[in-house]
Structure 1
Amino acid sequence: MRRQILCFSTQITQNNCFKTSPLIRFLSTQEAIDRRYHLFTLEKKRQAEKIGRIEKIEVQYKGIPNDCTLVMNKGISTPYDCARHLSEWHVDTSALALLDGTVYWDMHRPLEENCTLELQNFTVPEPQQVNRAFWRTCSYMLGACAAVAFKDTVPVKLHSFPGPDIRSGSFIYDVDLPTLGDWSPSHQELVTLGAEYVKLIQKNEPLERLEVSEELALEMFVDNEHKTKQIPSIARNNGKVTLYKVGKHVDISKGPMISHTGQIGRVSVVSVHKLNGSTNSDLKQLYRFQGVALPTGVIINHFAFSILTERAKKLNTAKSPISKVTEPEESESIAMKA
C-alpha cells in the first residue's frame, strides 16, 4: 500500500514538486523517511553557510580532570567538540552539557556565546535531567524503529510521545497503524522490534538537533497528518520547530536528548497496546509501543531486569497528545519484517 500526499516543495525539483502546482504522489514509508532526511540535511547545510565570518568564544570548562578555558567557534563548536579536547572518556560518557550552571544543552548543539560548561554523565550527583533526556531519547528511538520494522504493505504513521516519566516504568511512542484493526503482536514481532532497536544502538549514531521554520516543518511532514496538526501549536511562540535526527530518521521533540545511541545499553521492547480511547485518543487504530532500557555501563542481573520488564509491559496510562506534541516526545510475521 502506498501513501498519498501532496508535495509543495519549491526546492526538490527532482521530485517535480512545485508550490504553485501541487502534485499528488504516493510515498512509501522509506521514501518519506528519505525525503525528510534530505530536507533536514539541506537546511542544516544552509544554516551553516549562513554563519559567515567565524567569531571566537571562551568556554570555561569545569570538571575532571581540571578546570580550563577552551577557545571555540561561535555557532559552530558544540559541547561534543569541547569533550574531544579533553579525553576519549569525556566523549564516550558525556550525555548532556550544563551551561552557566542552569541551562541543559544538547552535546551536538552549537554554542552561541561565552559560557561555563559542565559535562553531565549518568553518574552525576543529581542525574534527574540526564535521566529525563535518556528516557526521552529512548521514546524517540522507539518511533524510529517502529517506522522501519513493518512491511511496505503496512502504513505506519508516527503520532507522538508524551514527556518522559521515569516513574511510569516504561518509555512509549504512540503509532497510528490504520490498516491493522485489532493487532496484538506476537513474541516474535516484539523480538523483531527489539532487534531493530539494538541495530540502531550499535550504529552509535549522534542525536542531531536543528531548529526549522514552521513552513519547512510542514513540508517535511506533509505525508503525516498527525504531525502537520501538531506543528502550528509547537511553532506558536517563535515560529520555530525543533527537530532531531538519528541516522535518516527525523522527528519532532523539544529535547534535549543524549549524545549518541551507543549510550543506551540493555533494552527491550516489551509490549504494544491498542489505546481504544483510554488515553484521550479519538483515533481507532492508535497503538502504544512500550519499552524499558538502561544506560550503557549500568549492569543488573537477568532476574532484576526481568522485574523491570514485567512492570513495563503494563499499559502506560500517560495522556496521548492530540493536537500538539507534549515533548514538544521462526514463522514469518504477518505485519513486520523478519
Structure 2
Amino acid sequence: MACRTVCQLLQRRLASSAASVRLSAAEERGRRSAVFSREQARQRSLYPRTEKIEVTLQIPGLQGTLLVMNKGLSTPHSCARHLTEWYVTSSALALVDGKPWSLHQPLTQSCSLSLLAFKDTDPLLVNQAYWRSCAALLGQVLQDAFKEDFSVELLRLPEVLVTSGAFCCDVVLDPQLDAWNPSEESLRSLTRGAQQLIHRDLPWEPLEVAPPVALEVFSHSRCKQEEVEEKSAQSPKGTVILYRCGDHVLLSGGPLVARTGLCSQYEVTAIHRLGEGKWGLHRRAQGLSLPLQQQVRAQICRKCFSQCMKHLLDVFECQ
C-alpha cells in the first residue's frame, strides 16, 4: 500500500514537472506529431496479416459494385483509387454503412461505401465537414503565425452553421498580445499562410485514440485536456478522434474533408475580442472560403472577393 502511494506521488510530480516545462511552438508541434505517429504505427501493427473485407459501393452508376480491400489498412480514398481519377480528386467525405467517415480513416470490416462531393444533390454533410476543415485550417495558421516567444492556445472549435456566413476559430493569445489589434495587413498575412497550406494539398489524417493517448498529445494544454475528457465521456466507445495536417494535431467535433487542396478561395476577414474567459482573453477569428469544385462559378467576382467577404460578414454576423 505504501509503495502504491509513493508511486502515485512520483507520477504526480513528474506530470507537474512536464507541464511546467515550456516548449517552443515548433517543439510542441513536433512532440504532438510524434505521439500521433507512434499510436498510428501501433494501431497498424494490430493487423499483421492481410485480411480481406468486401466493400459494396453505393454510388450512382456503380451501385452494388464490390471491391475487395485490406482490413485495417484500406481507406475510402484507397477505394476511390480503384475507380476513376474524378473520384480521387473530387471526393471530400465518405459514408460507411450510412455514417460520415473521413476519406483517410481505415475500414475495419465489410461495409457499404458512398463517396460524397460538393456538387452532390444533397451536399449538407460535405458542407458541414468543409466548414469544420476551414476552421481547423485557420487554427493551424494562427498557431504558426506568431513568433516562438508568444504562446497560442486554441480553444474548442465553435460549431457554427454554414448559413451563419463565416467559419470561426476561438483562440487565446499570449498575455503580451492582449493589447494587439490585427491590422488589414495582419489579416492578409494570415490569409497568405492559409493559402500556402492549401497549395501544399496536405491530407487531414484521422486517428481514433483512447483518452490516455489524447491526453499525452495535449499534455501541455489544460484547455485541450478538458476537451478530451468531455468528448470521450460523450463518445459511445469512450474514444476521441484526432486529426493531423502536416505536423499540426487537433481535435474536431466531426469529420474533416480529405485534404487542404479542396479549399479554394480562402480569406481571413476578422479577429474579434470576446472578452475575458477561463483561459485568458478569448478572441474569435473568422473567415470565408469556397471549395475547389465551385471555383469556376466564383471567377466572376475574384477581383472583389475580399469586399464580398466583408459584406457577407455584415449580413451574417457570427454569434
- Tell me the amino acid that sits aligned with residue 56 of structure 1: K
Q: Write the deviation string for residues 159-212 of structure 1: whole angstroms up to 9, x where unpaired.
A: 121124111100011010132223210111111111110011011111110011
Match of 1:58 among 54, 59, 63: 54
* Structure 1 residue aligned with 2:29: 33
- Tell me the amino acid that sits aligned with residue 249 of structure 2: V
* Structure 1 residue aligned with 2:94: 97
Map of 1:70-81 to 2, 5 A cutoff? Answer: 70-81=67-78
- Structure 1 gaps of 5+ residues are 1-17, 318-338
- Tell me the amino acid that sits aligned with residue 261 of structure 1: T
Q: Give 3-state SS (helix, strand or coil) of 1:269's partner.
A: strand
> Does 2:47 correspond to 1:46?
no
TM-score by length of 1: 0.83
Q: Give 3-state SS (helix, strand or coil) of 1:37's partner.
A: helix
* Structure 2 residue aligned with 1:260: 259
- Tell me the amino acid that sits aligned with residue 166 of structure 2: S
Moved more, 229-238 or 18-27: 18-27
Q: Give 3-state SS (helix, strand or coil) of 1:162's partner.
A: coil
- Tell me the amino acid that sits aligned with residue 162 of structure 1: P
Alpha-carbon distance, 1:311 to partner: 2.2
Q: What CA distance in whole angstroms lies between the structure 1 residues aligned with 2:305 and 2:238?
A: 46
Please tell me whether the aligned partners of residues 90 and 117 of structure 2 are also in contact (alpha carbons under 8 angstroms): yes
Q: What CA distance in whole angstroms lies between the structure 1 residues aligned with 2:212 and 2:278?
A: 27
> Does 2:130 correspond to 1:134?
yes
- Tell me the amino acid that sits aligned with residue 318 of structure 2: N
Alpha-carbon distance, 1:62 to partner: 3.1
Match of 1:288 among 272, 281, 284: 284
Please tell me whether the aligned partners of residues 288 and 309 of structure 2 are also in contact (alpha carbons under 8 angstroms): yes
Q: Which has the higher helix share?
A: 2
* Structure 2 residue aligned with 1:240: 239
- Tell me the amino acid that sits aligned with residue 185 of structure 1: P
Q: Give 3-state SS (helix, strand or coil) of 1:63's partner.
A: coil
Q: What CA distance in whole angstroms lies between the structure 2 residues aligned with 1:111 and 1:143?
A: 28
- Tell me the amino acid that sits aligned with residue 292 of structure 1: L
Q: What CA distance in whole angstroms lies between the structure 2 residues aligned with 1:239 and 1:75?
A: 20
Q: Write the deviation string for residues 246-286 of structure 1: whole angstroms up to 9, x where unpaired.
A: 11100011321111110000000000001016xxx444411
- Tell me the amino acid that sits aligned with residue 185 of structure 2: Q
Moved more, 113-122 or 307-316: 307-316
Q: Write the deviation string for residues 49-85 of structure 1: whole angstroms up to 9, x where unpaired.
A: 1123322111112335534211001111100000001
Q: Write the deviation string for residues 221-242 of structure 1: whole angstroms up to 9, x where unpaired.
A: 1111211122111111433121
* Structure 2 residue aligned with 1:311: 312
Please tell me whether the aligned partners of residues 273 and 315 of structure 1 are also in contact (alpha carbons under 8 angstroms): no
Map of 1:168-187 to 2, 5 A cutoff? Answer: 168-177=164-173, 178-187=175-184
Q: Give 3-state SS (helix, strand or coil) of 1:154's partner.
A: coil
* Structure 2 residue aligned with 1:249: 248
Q: Give 3-state SS (helix, strand or coil) of 1:202's partner.
A: helix
* Structure 1 residue aligned with 2:113: 117
Please tell me whether the aligned partners of residues 170 and 284 of structure 2 are also in contact (alpha carbons under 8 angstroms): yes
Q: What CA distance in whole angstroms lies between the structure 2 residues aligned with 1:212 and 1:263?
A: 26
Q: What CA distance in whole angstroms lies between the structure 1 residues aligned with 2:206 and 2:67?
A: 23
Alpha-carbon distance, 1:116 to partner: 1.9
Please tell me whether the aligned partners of residues 56 and 66 of structure 2 are also in contact (alpha carbons under 8 angstroms): yes
* Structure 1 residue aligned with 2:141: 145
- Structure 2 gaps of 5+ residues are 1-10
Map of 1:207-218 to 2, 5 A cutoff? Answer: 207-218=204-215
Please tell me whether the aligned partners of residues 207 and 245 of structure 1 are also in contact (alpha carbons under 8 angstroms): yes
Alpha-carbon distance, 1:88 to partner: 1.4
Please tell me whether the aligned partners of residues 132 and 164 of structure 1 are also in contact (alpha carbons under 8 angstroms): no
Please tell me whether the aligned partners of residues 268 and 309 of structure 1 are also in contact (alpha carbons under 8 angstroms): no
Q: What CA distance in whole angstroms lies between the structure 2 residues aligned with 1:83 and 1:32?
A: 34
Aligned length: 296
Q: What CA distance in whole angstroms lies between the structure 2 residues aligned with 1:255 and 1:203?
A: 23
Moved more, 299-308 or 289-298: 299-308
How well do the aligned residues superpose, as a CA RMSD in angstroms? 1.9
Q: What CA distance in whole angstroms lies between the structure 1 residues aligned with 2:279 and 2:213?
A: 26
Alpha-carbon distance, 1:316 to partner: 1.8
Please tell me whether the aligned partners of residues 243 and 254 of structure 1 are also in contact (alpha carbons under 8 angstroms): no
Q: What CA distance in whole angstroms lies between the structure 1 residues aligned with 2:75 and 2:167?
A: 28
